[in-house]
Structure 1
Amino acid sequence: MPVFGLGVWKSSNKEAADSVQTAIKHGYRLIDTAKQYGNQPGVGYGIQQALKDNHLNRKDLFITTKIFNGDQGYESALAAFEEQLKELRLTYLDLLLIHWPVDGKYVDTWRALEKLYHEGKVRAIGVSNFDESKLKDVLASSTVMPQVNQMEFNPLVQEDGLFEYMNGLGMAMEAWGPLGGGEALSNKMVQEIAQNHDKSAAQVILRFDYQMGAITIPKSAHEERIVANSQIDDFVLSDAEMAAIQELNQEKRSIWYPAFAWHAGSEETGVKDQVSYWDDVDEYLNKTVD
């Protein structure tokens, strides 16, 4: 699995298709999406167009998607997977994740992922937004250990305890929200470190994530930023710089599963969880590759 890739959360199908093509043209090989984002058709088109334009083979890319919360359960997850493959115009996935640990369903969903893994339809399986207790639930009844846990991870949310637990299992941490938003990007100390290395604050943060051992998938729809985000191999943060950024840790996740309306303990005011279908979804379902 590449340690750096492109995320497409909050991108329309057109934005996703364009950014996927741009990223692959500039050397990205990991693309991360989800049914919940409502842009799998755009991602699928972007992948196929980029393969053709750049004379690449499918095996050159690493594609990840996730089982939507509303599709969780054994049979429903299997059916949803087949539909997601069609939207992505693929015959197999490199990594399939459970998007969130839906109460009473995530263990059965994991059994479905194991079946797909053993059948060779998915080359790796993992989870997303699983804390230590939820991971232990899966491990207690699994035959295949989750290879990845995708979590909110950045200078403000470093998941110290969970990261240590995962490292002990040999499970990879993949960071969503790897830049930490405006609070991290505008931090004076981060900007000073960036100036010292003649880099941007975003590049410093992504380098920090990398040196911490996290796989990162920053999202951008702009070619200049897509290119710049990947340019983090030509400098190294010192131990002192790493320690200074680690001091920014607040361990305050921006959103967590008890807040969702589908969580058994949530209030009616919980975060609604639904597929964010974009107006351009139909356009990209059958769009012809040029």
Structure 2
Amino acid sequence: MKINVRFHNGEARIRYELPAEEVVESAAARLRPILLEQEDCFHMKALSALGYICRAAPQDAEWIRAARTEWRTRVNPSTPEQSGYWIMVSDTVTGEDRDLDAHGLAMAWIYGDVVHHDPERRQEGDAFGLRDRFRAAVPLVAWVMVGTIELLNYIRALNEAGLLELRQEVFGEQVALKSTVWEEPAEMYYAPVGAEAPSLANSPMPEGWLPLSQTTDLSVFQHSIAGQLLRAERSPFMTQLPSPEEVEAARTPGGGWKRDQLAAWGVAWPPPKGWKDELSERWQVARQDGAPPPLPSPAPADFAQETLDFG
């Protein structure tokens, strides 16, 4: 975060610039298992395991001890001073005084405002307001992110040095989607309501199930309230997918691509990293599935003729 102090008409004013709340919420939700003692991937459990494995390696053992000490200080401080700061408020009507350190405020935001798991923590930080809770959470979430990445890199180094023997797929397992739009070949079947469901993925379809194809009468998919539930629309990816050669041929003189052309191919603006590889993969899948060759598509009228001058 950025904190700026300025003076205006003899008054000191403090300005805070913090990341977008949605971004920090997403990070906090992903990091929550790292913070929970009962989770298998709790940070201190990983450090304890490494400490046992590296007990005969003095330099590594020292790094792990330092990492454990830093984690306890930053993520589980024992005093308000260790937490960095604390806030005191007073209710002028009731005369009630409350105070809470930054760590307590941060945990109230993570477990109360984000995951709604601990109402007691949320109630503890209620008197201080959402802004104070969020302000305290931002540096904690950021530090835990950095500490987790640092520990992962250390585990990689130990594995490469032969002190750990972890399966390589542990490091290559997919944990995030590069794209949330995809198309895949499928076999579709339908049956009347109440029909016996398939028992196994590779078992024959039970009696009463029919394959869905281009000749299926879609009027059977009618709902008294929702109307037509299934429509025979062709996917834009199947009719407008360009081949890798067509993608290269569509470059502008400056070496980029026009925004309307990318939109016709179903590519978002600005185009995400790896969009050409994704288009090529979809084109290959479509060809294997016997789809017709891509058709030309006119540029949408509501797109400006903007040009992207990088690959």
TM-score bracket, shorter-length normalisation = under 0.3
TM-score computed with the length of structure 1 as normaliser? 0.23
Question: Larger relative CO (CA 8 A, sep 6+): 1 or 2?
Answer: 1
Computing the radius of gyration from Cα coordinates, the structure with the larger value is 2
Output the TM-score relative to the length of structure 2: 0.21
